[in-house]
Chains A and B, each alone.
Chain A
Amino acid sequence: MAESMQNNAGDAPVRVALFVTCSVDLIRPSVGFATVKLLEDAGCEVSVPAAQTCCGQPAYNGGLRENAAAIAEQVIETFAGFDYVVAPSGSCAAMIKVHYPQLLESDAARELASRTYELMQFLVDVRGVETIKAQLDGTVAYHDSCSGLRELGIKEQPRALLASVDGLRQSDYQGSEACCGFGGLFCVKYPDIADKMAADRVQAIAASGADMLLGGDLGCLCHLAGKLSRDGSRVQVRHVAEVLAGMTDCPALCQGEAEET
């Protein structure tokens, strides 16, 4: 529970639309529910617009400007009228916040960009959350995903919140800012290079002594979890929202129900 939220108690509730992102929607809905809990704990009234699908980033980075623009127009329409739009992903949030205005050059795009945030950034920078009531007995490595880090400046926010989690230790994971090799289509177009980049990360994660890897972007986490799993590693991979929301009862990425610890 965010203590600092109490100063907003008398105000009208903050109306937040959750942009759940296609990867969370399809692969790991738990992250969506963890995000809802964190937003509600931070004093927000959460809506989930039903017409949402994808932010259009695959089309945008794949060179399909027209397709990306059409999706962006649809997202703008779907998310009109909320105080904020929050996504549990630096890369999808950056697509809306940084790239929609460049792609569409419209006031509507700039308006949506101005009220769109990645989850950690929203909790800490907008809602002023400083501590979280959660518990986790373990040593975690936090991987900085490229878009969140370089396009949105997300670095300290998740670490600050993790520091308040009971029992959690943050490991000295070297090279947390190096790309894991996911890069959307990149990892399937150039799988050998992507695999080498993931291998370098996995080596550094092992050297850090962490037993859990956290991050804010499911794409990167799936890539690293897939590599760790293929290597037979026991490191658990989770979205940071799951730990902060205390929702770690579901199996970690790439781990089966039998392996639950």
Chain B
Amino acid sequence: MSLAAKNFPANARAALGDTQLQEALERLRGGFVEGRRQVVAKLPEFDALRDRAAEIRRHTIAHLDQYLVQFEERATAAGGIVHWCRDAAEARAQILEICQAADARLVTKGKSMIGEEIEINDYLEAHNIEPVETDLGEYIIQLRRELPSHIIAPATHLSKEQVAESFQEHHTGLDAARPLAEPEALLAEARTRLRQKFLAADVGITGANFLIAETGTSVIVTNEGNGDLTQTLPRVHIVIASLEKVVPSLDDAATLLRVLARSATGQEISAYTTFSTGPKRGPDLDGPDAYHVILLDNGRTDILAGDNAEILGCIRCGACLNHCPVYGAIGGHAYGSVYPGPMGSVLTPALNGLPGAHHLPQASSLCGRCEEVCPVRLPLPKMLRNLRFQAAETGAPGGFARLLVKLWAFAARRPWLYRFGAGISLAWLSARGRKDGYLRSIPGLRAWTSRRDFPAPEGRTFMHQWKSGRRS
């Protein structure tokens, strides 16, 4: 299934009419939002911690080149191999080359948004390598051939009944009578299937929540432990990470981890936090023989040079999605992009360009809830507005509304014209609406009146009445 960002309004309408999706979104709002509220209430220094986290990210992005080079040096010194990839095609080719060199037939994968961004699964399949997602949510949407609908909870749009159906459909040899009504049963079923894959995999691919420059280490957080099995059991471990994942030091990573889990799932810390530095060394009992890091640019360098460089500070906690009233109304798929919600509405046009994604920065009431909860204090509304400036300056679609606003702005700078126009429209509107107090339809304003009444204006403008001497 693939929904395009350019069809956002139609996608959104469909999502609003999908009762199953609406129930799933209700659960999400209850779970993550309430979880974050509780865990934040227990940590009085949370806001001070956010200040530090924001400063770490700002500093890192401002010195990205320096920390990336340092990361490469340290990772290489630890026996790892770092590959710089300009775009998705280079990254895919590099990953394939590593897999083919290892004679890989089966690749296990931990959860990675970069994996989604470069569509690595389709590519590996096309080259006769079987990729298996091992994060439960990712595993489910891989079976269903869907995009993730949330950056940390990819299958959050589904009900457990839908998951059971998918298992019945795709798990060959599954006893049709096996009870799959409860989440525990679903988990056990997935675990049985995945265990064989973990043991048989030739290569394990994981993402990275952070890359630590000081030590050349990659860090992943998971709640299922699947990431550990993915990166320790196979002969080869490939980390795929975009450039901005780097942080200067272990201490910095620790600070960011403290805000990450709290903001994401409302946990104090995720169940598993795993640090990997290089491949297995002499006395190590387990671990991969080879450790590769794909450092993906894919447009980040351009973002760094633009107005919205701050978006590179994002640590992908998902809090802005969880708290966004627009995301909460329509879910992630309606955005038609890998990254949905407020951070996605900034990142997607920044990565792929505004044409095709022009709805995303417009489809926000700029309520500011995202910025309010962002653990690294990204000014998301400001960045959405920057994209709106860019849209107007480059003539992206949206012309009619923009023309109306231009007319309004023209009048607003000419008080006499403004008052003249206002006087005429108000006399008409208020005469039509006086009896009821509202207008049920206004020509040209159907987008409002098709769903809501419009309050009848009282009559004369305030300015007119004031000028005429009314004072109270």
A interface list, Cβ under 8 A from B = 20, 22, 24-30, 32-33, 36-37, 48, 50-54, 56, 58-65, 67-68, 70-71, 74, 102, 146-147, 150-151, 177-179, 181-198, 200, 222-223, 225-227, 229-230, 250-259
Contact call A52/B448, Cβ cutoff below 8 A? no
Known: A25-B462, A225-B455, A254-B453. 12 other contacts (CB 8 A): A27-B455, A65-B393, A67-B406, A146-B368, A178-B325, A186-B365, A189-B401, A190-B9, A194-B365, A197-B326, A226-B455, A230-B452
B455 shortest CB reach to chain A, Å: 4
Contact call A53/B365, Cβ cutoff below 8 A? no
Q: Which of A37, A50, A185 contacts B463 (CB 8 A)?
A: A50
Cross-chain pairs A/B with CB under 8 angstroms, 22 sampled: A25-B461, A32-B466, A53-B412, A64-B409, A65-B389, A65-B392, A70-B409, A146-B367, A146-B369, A150-B367, A183-B367, A187-B448, A189-B362, A190-B326, A191-B447, A192-B9, A196-B329, A197-B326, A254-B438, A255-B437, A256-B435, A257-B435
B402 contacts chain A at the CB level, 8 A cutoff: yes
Can you name the residue of chain A whose Cβ is closest to the Cβ of B449? A226
Residues of A within 8 A of B145 (CB): none
Roughly how many angstroms separate A155 CA and B347 CA in the complex, as a whole number?
32
Roughly how many angstroms separate A2 CA and B363 CA in the complex, as a whole number?
43
Residues of A within 8 A of B408 (CB): 54, 58-59
Roughly how many angstroms separate A191 CA and B458 CA in the complex, as a whole number?
25
Contact call A181/B325, Cβ cutoff below 8 A? yes
Known: A64-B409, A67-B406, A189-B447. A28 touches B455 (CB 8 A): yes
Q: Which 8 A-B pairs have the closest CB atoms?
A: A183-B365, A226-B452, A63-B388, A63-B392, A179-B367, A29-B462, A256-B437, A67-B409
Known: A64-B392, A183-B366, A256-B434. A193 touches B12 (CB 8 A): yes
Known: A29-B458, A36-B472. A185 touches B413 (CB 8 A): no
Roughly how many angstroms separate A102 CA and B379 CA in the complex, as a whole number?
13
Contact call A33/B471, Cβ cutoff below 8 A? yes
Cβ proximity bits B438-472 to A, threshold 8 Å, 1 near / 0 not: 10000001011011111111111111011100111
Can you name the residue of chain A whose Cβ is closest to the Cβ of B363? A190
Contact call B457/A61, Cβ cutoff below 8 A? no
Residues of B within 8 A of A60 (CB): 385
Roughly how many angstroms separate A63 CA and B325 CA in the complex, as a whole number?
22
Roughly how many angstroms separate A258 CA and B438 CA in the complex, as a whole number?
12
Contact call A226/B438, Cβ cutoff below 8 A? yes
Contact call A51/B461, Cβ cutoff below 8 A? no
Contact call A56/B437, Cβ cutoff below 8 A? no
Contact call B455/A188, Cβ cutoff below 8 A? no
Contact call B412/A54, Cβ cutoff below 8 A? yes
Residues of A within 8 A of B368 (CB): 146-147, 150-151
Residues of A within 8 A of B329 (CB): 193, 196-197
A31 shortest CB reach to chain B, Å: 8
A2 shortest CB reach to chain B, Å: 17
The A interface is mostly helix, strand or loop, or mixed, namely: helix
Which of B372, B436, B445 lies at the interface centre, i.e. has the most chain A CB atoms within 10 A of its CB?
B436
Which of B410, B418, B437, B438 lies at the interface centre, i.e. has the most chain A CB atoms within 10 A of its CB?
B437
Residues of A within 8 A of B455 (CB): 27-28, 222, 225-226, 229, 253-254
B330 contacts chain A at the CB level, 8 A cutoff: yes
Residues of A within 8 A of B371 (CB): 150
Contact call B435/A258, Cβ cutoff below 8 A? yes
Roughly how many angstroms separate A221 CA and B30 CA in the complex, as a whole number?
26
Roughly how many angstroms separate A227 CA and B415 CA in the complex, as a whole number?
32
Contact call B16/A193, Cβ cutoff below 8 A? yes
B380 shortest CB reach to chain A, Å: 12
Contact call B462/A20, Cβ cutoff below 8 A? yes
Q: Which of B372, B389, B453 contacts A229 (CB 8 A)?
A: B453
Residues of A within 8 A of B437 (CB): 229, 251-257, 259
Roughly how many angstroms separate A195 CA and B17 CA in the complex, as a whole number?
12
Which of A29, A178, A191 lies at the interface centre, i.e. has the most chain B CB atoms within 10 A of its CB?
A29
Roughly how many angstroms separate A54 CA and B447 CA in the complex, as a whole number?
22
Known: A37-B472, A62-B388, A189-B401. A226 touches B415 (CB 8 A): no
B364 contacts chain A at the CB level, 8 A cutoff: yes
Residues of B within 8 A of A190 (CB): 9, 12, 326, 362-363
Can you name the residue of chain B whose Cβ is closest to the Cβ of A34? B472
A163 shortest CB reach to chain B, Å: 25
Roughly how many angstroms separate A250 CA and B16 CA in the complex, as a whole number?
37
Q: Which of B398, B413, B454, B465 contacts A71 (CB 8 A)?
A: B413
Residues of B within 8 A of A74 (CB): 412-413
Contact call A182/B402, Cβ cutoff below 8 A? no
Roughly how many angstroms separate A192 CA and B326 CA in the complex, as a whole number?
10
Contact call A29/B460, Cβ cutoff below 8 A? yes
Contact call A30/B365, Cβ cutoff below 8 A? no
Roughly how many angstroms separate A51 CA and B366 CA in the complex, as a whole number?
29
Q: Which of A20, A27, A63, A192 contacts B458 (CB 8 A)?
A: A27
Q: Which of A20, A52, A186, A258 contacts B366 (CB 8 A)?
A: A186
Contact call B454/A226, Cβ cutoff below 8 A? yes
A207 shortest CB reach to chain B, Å: 15
Can you name the residue of chain A whose Cβ is closest to the Cβ of B466? A48
Residues of A within 8 A of B187 (CB): none
Can you name the residue of chain B whose Cβ is closest to the Cβ of A225? B455
B457 shortest CB reach to chain A, Å: 5
Known: A71-B413, A181-B325, A188-B445. A150 touches B363 (CB 8 A): no
A251 shortest CB reach to chain B, Å: 5
Can you name the residue of chain B whose Cβ is closest to the Cβ of A222? B455
Roughly how many angstroms separate A197 CA and B452 CA in the complex, as a whole number?
12
Residues of A within 8 A of B447 (CB): 187-189, 191
Which of B362, B390, B402, B408 lies at the interface centre, i.e. has the most chain A CB atoms within 10 A of its CB?
B408
Can you name the residue of chain B whose Cβ is closest to the Cβ of A223? B452
